Structure 1
Amino acid sequence: MRDNRGVPLYREEGVVLRTHKLGEADRIVTLLTRGRGLLRAVAKGVRRTSSKFGARLEPFMVADLQCFEGRTLDTITQAETLGAYGPSISADYDRYRAGSAIVETAERLAEGEVSRELYALLVGALRTLAAGRIPADLVRDGYLLRAMSLAGWTPGFGACVRCGAPGPHTAVAVQLGGSVCDSCRPPGSPRLDAGSVALLSALLAGDWEGALGASERERGQAAGIAAAYAQWHLERGLRSFSGPRA
């Protein structure tokens, strides 16, 4: 499809990951899209108070977009809201911190590839986070583990990931991919409460009913493993984990 100037137009569905200012009134929007993967595009005039769709292009929003192709950056010409998750997430500190970790991870994983499964997982995580019925840290940690799994790094929290000895085991070696028996446990690997290992398994499976019964201690231990596992495989730290956690 082309506009009246012959410029190629296309429609796409995307999640706004982050934005930054461009000039006095424009903004560069980084999105994870359903069909094109990672996309950076210019939204002209969205910082003006008269803009009709500026609020639709804020972080955590899901939008149906019309864009035209440019030489360096594409330009967004229309945006219709499909999932208005931004206001609810941004209004709550815990949800905002969790959401920031989720979209940062999504951006890292999306570099260089298109995955509709990762896109669907991201939209589902933001929808759940915005609803507020599941604690923000559980939504974040479940997303991290499941996103790593979709990217090809599925952690194991049952049998020993090194020798296959039947579990469950309470020692976890992030660098080996999950739970390990005492014989395979590398020096310094953390030992968790049994409930924390069960929580990690529930989060990986998307079992919210099982996850909601975890104690604060178990949630804290699981959060540490989920963050360490994601950052190990991304091979660099996540900015969203540099301060206090949700």
Structure 2
Amino acid sequence: MPTYRDEAVVLRTHKLGEADRIVTVLSRRHGKVRAVARGVRRTSSKFGARLEPFSHVDVQFATGRTLDVITEAVTLHAYSEPLCSDYERYTTGEVLLETADRLVSEEGQPSARQFSLLVGALHALTSGTSDGPRPASMVMDAYLLRAVATAGFAPALAECAVCGAPGPHEAFSPASGGMVCRRCRPPASALLAPGTLDYLCALISGDWPATREATDVVRRQASGLIAAFVSWHLERGLRTLAYLDR
């Protein structure tokens, strides 16, 4: 069988037969891949523990007729170990995996940017950012904004999402695509608290130092708006968001 090798993050697994698993990964060069890991549920398996969700691995695949087969896996970062001991960070990590799985819908399509964002978010969740530790909710919100923006659904923050009038504006509408001016503002749009717009801009640009002074009110409002925005553009809510301890 032809083989290929790639760096990947395990998104989810499913049982197959008595000892196998179907493993879904997001890889750097081959996008999302579903492959069979044979015998990994046996206690004698050499790499079963390396193919659990959150694992960042170097994987070798053999090309199969329907599903590829994982023939080797080497752990690069075991993000599952620190996450499994912290409920808040574990459930936040589950949101990251589900989002990546939903945004990269086509198997085999290159998704290097989405892969890099996911690895960066898992690293920030377990080891902190370049500017020091950050709350799990902040890491999640930054990832969600940047991931949907990479997928082509960036929220309009500097101008009105409807008419394009330059901002800053005071209201945010997930259904309209971001900030809206007074003329275009639909019913039930959220009026932003002072500092929320700047905080959203810092999250989407990855400016961690600028997020340090955000108040609890700003962070809570931004988190709710981001969840609503992502759910709207994914056409249904993220299942894992319901398990977050807010």
Same fold (TM over 0.5): yes
**Considering only aligned residues, what root-mean-square deviation do their CA atoms show, in Å?**
1.5
Give structure 1 stretches of 5+ with no counterpart: 1-6
Contact kept in structure 2, 1:148 and 1:154, CA below 8 Å: yes
Query: Given the alignment of the two structures, is residue 201 of structure 1 paired with residue 201 of structure 2, yes or no?
Result: yes
CA offset digits 1:168-214 (Å, max 9, x no partner): 22310112211112222101111121222221111101111111221
Partner deviation per Cα, 1:29-64 (whole Å, 9 max, x = no partner):
110111111111111222222222112111111111
Displacement over 6 Å in runs of 4+: none
Alignment of 1:1-246 (within 5 A): 7-112=1-106, 113-132=109-128, 133-246=133-246
When residues 74 and 87 of structure 1 are mapped into structure 2, their CA distance, relative to the original with a 3 A threshold, is same
Q: How far 1:142 sits from its partner (Å)?
A: 0.5
CA contact (8 A) 1:170 1:194 kept: no
TM-score of the aligned structures, taking structure 1 as reference length: 0.92
The number of equivalent residue pairs is 240
Instruction: Return 100-109 or 113-122, whichever deviates more.
Output: 113-122
CA contact (8 A) 1:42 1:75 kept: yes
Cα distance in 1 for residues equivalent to 2:163 and 2:60: 52
Counterpart code for 2:53: P
Cα deviation code 1:133-185 (max 9, x no counterpart): 22111111101100111111111223322334443223101122111122221
**How many angstroms apart in 1 are the aligned matches of 2:224 and 2:85?**
25
Task: Assess if the C-alpha contact under 8 Å between 2:7 and 2:27 holds in 1.
Answer: yes
Q: Distance in 1 between matches of 2:179 and 2:186?
A: 11
In 1, Cα distance between the equivalents of 2:229 and 2:187?
17
CA distance in 1, matches of 2:148, 2:87: 25
Unmatched runs of 5 consecutive residues or more in structure 2: none
Contact 2:8 2:26 in 1 (8 A): yes
